[in-house]
Chains A and B, each alone.
Chain A
Amino acid sequence: MPRLGADMTAGKVVKWLKQPGERIQRGDVIAIVETDKANVDVESFIAGVLEKILVEPGDERLPVGTPLALIRAEGAAEPVAPAAPVAAARAVTPAPIPSAAIPLAAVPAAVVPPAPGERARISPAARKRALELRLDAAALTGTGPEGRVTLADVERAAQAGQAAPATQVAPTAQAAPAARAEPSPADAAAARQLRMREAIANSMSRSKREIPHYYLACTIDMGRAMAWLAERNAGRAVTDRLIYAVLLIKAAALALREVPELNGFWIDNRAQQSEAIHAGIAISLRGGGLVAPALHHADQRSLDDLMRGFQDLVKRARAWSLKSSEMADPTVTITSLGDRGVESVFGIITPPQLALVGFGTPLERPWVVGGQVVPRPLLTATLSGDHRATDGHRGALFLAAVDRLLQQPEAL
């Protein structure tokens, strides 16, 4: 079970799209996994042959790290013996993700089964109960034979609040899986809502607990950008238009090249910059909740290409259908709350990212240009930065760069 986003702890296999014996190219979608935030197309990060499916689709929520399938890597001479899952997984692990500097992706726990010893350390009943209670089974103290975690251990831990319960699950949520009746679509949607709120609660609480945020804001005159956009869109077919948010995304991505220490992750008590700039775009879901999947390489793409990518992302996010790379890859988050007239947003950083960029609505306001007060569309851009990794001065340089870039929209 791959970790599809920093806040994911478990997921369900909805469907396999490849069958045992099939050849798989890197990037092929092999399965659909339901997380708290979306149905995610899980892409293979290696090429090879699907040797064996270990988990059938079903209702069980499996913790991140649970092996789902064995893939024989391309060129691996020995077919994978089912008795040697660990060896098989090793054959599979090389070349996991393009850049080792991206730690989220470097959780290729995706296909690595735990060592056989680890597996046996908890009884099936205890494992099931721990899952229901959202306890991290690996962190439990076992009192059974050979330190095995028993059902009683799980219950005790739950009462004591041990093993960092991932969430305080509402009683209704626990009751639901026990009932086992086919949930109605409305119930399923409600359950999904509940899990999404939990995922957001965990991620945001962790952020506020661990990340010393600093916040900066600057006012940007969007006059040139909006005029350029209006001129560009006039006369273009509806399929070919841009919305101003795309200019903001591109400007922010280019500015991150200039201040790269805002782009990456805080891992193991230090900042790890990412060379690639994958903008996590906060997309609100109707009915509540949000998700911030990646627009990959946002700094390198044309505005038209970004627009198509953005449109596609919004459509799929709202249909609960995203790709694993989109969920796992963002190196920074960009949120634009402009659609409803919000002037500024001081966001909470998505751990373990280092920064969040926020944009409000461009609003017509009096502004002084050349000693004259003139009406201009003004937009407030904000930065939430992790003070462990960067200081306000660097953050200020970033916002200044965003402003500068937006004054030359034709160059974006």
Chain B
Amino acid sequence: MTEDEIRVRVIKTLSGIVPELDPGQLKPAVSLRDQLDVDSMDFLNFLIALHGEFGVDVPEADAPKLGTIDACVGYLAQALRQRAQA
């Protein structure tokens, strides 16, 4: 999966949690919490939805590493690469 494909699927997953999300307005490097008013429950639901979409389980300790769209894409790309190599 390319990073662009991952990005598209991350944004689609996020829009399931934030229905009013406008992908065109999304700033990939700004924290989701600040730009979308995502709270801890939304964020957990987002991680669960990512797990469903990519099959990647984010350990609790890693959760802060997925604060922006860019960070999500990077984290997932790496996790998927590691899985492919394993």
Contact = CB atoms under 8 A, between A and B. Distances in A.
B58 A287 contact: no
B24 interface: no
Nearest to B18: A286
Interface stretch (B4-12, B34-42, B67-75, B76-84): B34-42
B17 A237 contact: no
Given A286-B20, A311-B45, A314-B45, A234 B39 contact: no
Contacts of B60: 230, 233-234, 236, 238, 241
A238 B17 contact: no
A189 B51 CA distance: 31
B19 A318 contact: yes
Interface in B39-62: 39-42, 44-45, 47-48, 51, 57-61
A239 B48 CA distance: 6
A100 interface: no
B42 A238 contact: no
A238 B20 contact: no
- What 3 A-B pairs have minimum CB-CB distances, sorted nearest first? A339-B39, A286-B37, A238-B47
Given A286-B18, A315-B17, A238 B41 contact: no
Contacts of B18: 286, 318
Contact of B51 (A234, A238, A310): A238
A17 interface: no
Please indicate which of the listed interface residues A241, A286, A314 has the most CB atoms of chain B within 10 Å of its own CB: A286
Contacts, number: 47
Nearest to B51: A238
B20 A189 contact: yes
Contacts of B47: 238
B48 A314 contact: no
A227 interface: no
Interface residues of A, number: 21
Contact of B57 (A237, A284, A310): A237
Given A234-B61, A241-B60, A287-B20, 13 more contacts: A233-B60, A234-B60, A238-B44, A238-B48, A238-B58, A239-B48, A241-B44, A245-B41, A284-B39, A286-B18, A286-B20, A311-B41, A318-B19
A243 interface: yes
A120 B60 CA distance: 63
Interface string A230-268: 100110111101010100000000000000000000000
Contacts of B58: 238
A319 interface: yes
Given A233-B60, A239-B51, A314 B41 contact: yes
Contacts of B36: 286
A196 to B, nearest CB: 14
Contacts of A318: 18-19, 42
Contacts of A245: 40-41
Contacts of A286: 18, 20, 36-37
Given A238-B48, A241-B60, A314-B45, A339 B40 contact: yes
18 contacts: A234-B60, A236-B60, A237-B57, A238-B47, A238-B48, A238-B57, A241-B60, A243-B44, A245-B41, A284-B39, A286-B20, A286-B37, A287-B20, A311-B45, A314-B45, A315-B45, A318-B19, A339-B40
Nearest to A314: B41
Contacts of A311: 41, 44-45
Contact of B40 (A234, A238, A243): A243
Contacts of B19: 318-319
Interface string A304-338: 00000011001100110000000000000000000
Please indicate which of the listed interface residues B37, B51, B58 has the most CB atoms of chain A within 10 Å of its own CB: B37
A237 B58 CA distance: 8
A236 B18 CA distance: 25
A311 B61 CA distance: 20
A236 B36 CA distance: 27
